[in-house]
Chain A
Amino acid sequence: MVGISAIGIYLPAYRLSREVIAQQTGGPSLGGERTVANYDEDAITMGVEASLECMDNYEHAWGIPLNGEILKGLVFTSTSSPYLEKQAASIMSSVLEVNHSALVTDLSGSLRGGLTAVEVGNKILKESSPEAKVLVVASERRMAEPGSNEEQAFGDGAAALLLGNENVLATIEAHYVVNANFPHFWRRENDPYVHAGDTRFVENYGYLPLMSDAIHSLLKKVSLSPNEIEKLIVYAPNSRLAQQLSRRLGFNPKTQLADTLFNEIGDTGTVQVFLSLISVLAKVRPGNKLVVAGYGDGAEAILLEVTQDIRRIEKCRGLEDYLNRKRALTSYAKYLHFRDITAESSYDAFSSLPLLWREEKQNLGLYGVKCKKCGIIHFPRRRVCDKCGTKDEMEDFKLCRKGHIYTYTNDYVYLNPDPPETLAAIDMIGGGRFFGQVTDINPQDVHIDLEVELSFRKLHDGQGLPNYFWKARPAMGRK
């Protein structure tokens, strides 16, 4: 039976207190804090992070390396992809080296996309070989108008679920969908910010009836009552609404309702229900039944049953790890800069479509070469070895994403929305050297021998393209 084989989270390091936003924009604070993507992050970069994390987690949980070749599908869902025309998933599939004949697609437009993506994965896997896998990734960096309720409510982040027919932590037992034309949140082609409908109206005539319908119908389909469900995991734009829904359906909000993580993270759109699910999976027991429901243009719900293998999730990097690595963003002005509201966070630099295309294996796949004659590892790739002079006698060498800083600096001249710019030469584990920017780091924390890992980021917007590459960031470690 199809189920969830591994989970992956990515939360940006920065947190912005809602009190700080309220002080700057007037009006009441919604309390708590929200996640904020760094200036070099977007839905694609965070999606890559969560995907890599998910694949690493699978390897740690099951002791089996996971190769992108085994993926039969990669479904990326977001309402805030940096591209309106062009797939985000294809960029991710290059980084992850997904099988070229896999079903790779974006699901955009609806906050319900995560649940739909799981159903797509479920259908693919039912027709695939037992070892096949599908990666479902949700990622958001939604834009809210300064001073709006959504500016405080929204959060940025990503989550990935690896689905499979075997080696599963929880199985997908049932699915139910209710379609409806109901604009609760929307954003038109030229709108910079998300619009939200009148709260009383959209909650009472959209969210509550549609979600109730989907969840109620799902339970009816499998002949279960709310008291047989361990946790109800729902998308909700605020905590109060989730509690209201829970009561309306006959669930106990105190014991059965999963945290929507509004206080620590915020409304992460398509991502939120996955994050809530992942935090629940860390605490459940075999045999527990879970209802997971997404909302947007209707509602969609699935029933999960936890398997005997659930304890393997302890080997995965979980929500706590990401909640703990936070850095406070104390400046609202910096937040506006990061999001291109008061100034451009990115810039135009030389770039070239043919160049990026030629070098994709190196720049997205992190492939250098190793000289067959003298053994030196070259990254970037070169045809002629500068050590021994041998021509075209190189074999591919994929850089490990972990390493230690050999030397570094904090540069105050280079223009960067989050100065100073930390740079480092990094000796990668297994060989090869990387030289580049270090992100998500306090300048006083960088030092020789610091353990770092490479993180997928946007360097700039040269040639009208998001120019993606790797930066380093302090290693998060693993339990």
Chain B
Amino acid sequence: MAGLLKEQIAIIGVGCTKFGENFTQSWADLAVEAAFEACADAKVDMKELDAAWAGSFRPWISGERNTGSPLAEALGFVYKPITLVSNICATGLDTLRNACLAIASGMYDIVLAIGIEKMRDAGPRSLSLTNRTDFHPLIGKGRTAPSFFAACANRYFHEYGIGRKTLAKVAVKNHHNGALNPKAHIQREITVEDVLNSPWVAEPLSILDSTTNSDGAAAAIVTRADLAKSFRPDYILVKGMGLSVSTERNIFDPEFNFLSFKPGQVAAQMAYKQAGIVYPRKEIDVAEVHDCFTITEIIDYEDLGFAKRGEGWKLIEEGVTTLEGELPVNTDGGLKAFGHPIGATGLRMIYEVVKQLQEKAGKRQVKNARLGLAHTLGGPGALAAVVVLGRPD
């Protein structure tokens, strides 16, 4: 049947660098750290891997080519199949998805999925200002990631009557989680007042409503479930994967309401169908969702079926998604505090969900997590990827 995996896929090792302004590290250094940590975690030698998928949104801003070669160079992983994946903020999860599909095809036994983004060799605003100098010279000129999500927030405020304080609580929650995480870019608690008083990025979003510009890499070693048992007992199953890609010209679509992102809903439905999930709010134990801005996390709740349309904000107000809540979200700090090196983010989420399911998440460990979700959203809500992971037992 279409839309289902024929083979069971497993993750047997994960690795993740510290995220941050890693001025001492190159794109290759980040790749080395994440890949070798994942191999060590899986107890496999790099040479045993059959192929690799490298996710990097803009490798050229740190001087790398947009091909597979920078990864071959970094890891000494030469003469093997390497494919570069680039799908804006969904790059990391799409990289994993491609690696999983290759395993499911039966062509390879063990492969590497790695996301790397070296943002800070370019300027602090380089990502936003790309929209100024690149792409279509006229159409949508002036749009940036902050301005798009700010426009969503203003419409959300208008429709549902909430304000900046509710958004600020998303940031407070994620900073709290990040403060418990030694690999997070920002390890500092903040208050609602801090958020409300921080400078504007794009009204009504302030700096503390926004993610960071970080360097980082994260990786996973993927194999067939029947092979996974020979590596470790606590391997993690990939239970569902969805990718939904639409147009970035949705901002010109008279039917687009700036309140929900259909790719997020569709990708979730794809993954839920494979994983057999019917009631996501009840069945999922821990989730990493795309919180590039505070408003995005609230809309994500609705797109993922954690809350009804227009009620995502209630999960924040009611504490449902805190570490101690019924459905903890962004336990590692999220994009907000852990950081957002574009191509690495999806695999960083996978790293956290795997650690949570393996009960190795340290101070951030949630109780009895058996089913976890990772979700990334790219462009102006133009594309999204969702992956559901579960314990084999």
Contacts and interface: CB of A to CB of B under 8 A. Distances in A.
Interface of A: 347-352, 355-356, 359, 363, 376-380, 382, 386-387, 406-415, 420-421, 423-425, 427, 431-437, 443, 448, 459-460, 462-463, 467, 469
B150 A409 contact: yes
Contact of A349 (B133, B151, B252): B133
A423 B146 CA distance: 11
B137 A356 contact: yes
A376 B255 CA distance: 9
The 9 lowest CB-CB distance pairs between A and B, nearest first, are A409-B150, A407-B155, A351-B137, A435-B251, A411-B147, A469-B138, A411-B202, A437-B142, A433-B254
Contacts of B135: 350
A387 to B, nearest CB: 8
B142 A436 contact: yes
Nearest to A377: B254
A409 B154 contact: yes
Contacts of A413: 125, 128-129, 144, 146-147, 201-202
Nearest to B257: A406
Given A423-B143, A436-B141, A459-B138, A415 B132 contact: yes
Contact of A423 (B129, B136, B151, B205): B151
B6 interface: no
B151 A424 contact: yes
A2 to B, nearest CB: 38
25 contacts: A347-B133, A350-B136, A351-B137, A352-B137, A356-B138, A378-B252, A386-B247, A386-B253, A408-B151, A409-B150, A409-B203, A409-B205, A411-B147, A411-B150, A412-B199, A412-B202, A413-B125, A413-B129, A421-B142, A431-B254, A433-B252, A434-B252, A459-B137, A459-B141, A467-B138
A431 B254 CA distance: 8
B147 A414 contact: yes
A436 B133 contact: no
A109 B42 CA distance: 77
B254 A432 contact: yes
A448 B155 contact: yes
A407 B152 contact: yes
Interface of B: 125, 128-129, 132-144, 146-147, 150-155, 158, 199-205, 246-247, 249, 251-256, 258
A434 B153 CA distance: 19
Given A411-B201, A425-B151, A459-B137, 13 more contacts: A349-B133, A349-B141, A352-B137, A380-B252, A406-B155, A409-B147, A410-B200, A413-B202, A423-B147, A424-B151, A459-B141, A460-B137, A469-B141
Contacts of A432: 254
A367 B134 CA distance: 24
B252 A462 contact: no
Contacts of A386: 246-247, 253
Nearest to B128: A413
A412 B144 CA distance: 11
A413 B135 CA distance: 18
B13 to A, nearest CB: 38
A462 B132 contact: no
A425 B138 contact: no
Contacts of A421: 142, 147
Contacts of B132: 347, 349, 414-415
Contacts of B136: 350
Contacts of A435: 140, 143, 251-252
Contacts of A387: 255
B164 to A, nearest CB: 13
A348 to B, nearest CB: 7
A443 B203 contact: yes
Given A349-B134, A350-B133, A410 B254 contact: no
A469 B200 CA distance: 28
Contact of A462 (B137, B152, B154, B258): B137
Contacts of A347: 132-133
Contacts of B142: 411, 414, 421, 423, 436-437, 459
B158 A412 contact: no
Contacts of B141: 349, 436-437, 459-460, 469
A349 B137 contact: yes
Interface centre among A378, A379, A406, A469 (most CB of B within 10 A): A406
A363 B138 contact: yes
Contacts of A443: 203
Contacts of B246: 386
B137 A350 contact: yes
Contacts of A382: 249
Contacts of A467: 137-138
B146 A411 contact: yes
A396 B384 CA distance: 32
Contact of A412 (B143, B200, B251, B255): B200
A409 B151 contact: yes
Contacts of B256: 425, 433
Contact of A425 (B202, B204, B258): B258
Contact of A448 (B134, B158, B205, B253): B158
A412 B146 CA distance: 9
Given A407-B152, A407-B258, A414 B252 contact: no
A85 to B, nearest CB: 21
B362 to A, nearest CB: 35
Contacts of A459: 137-138, 141-142
B258 A414 contact: no
A405 to B, nearest CB: 10
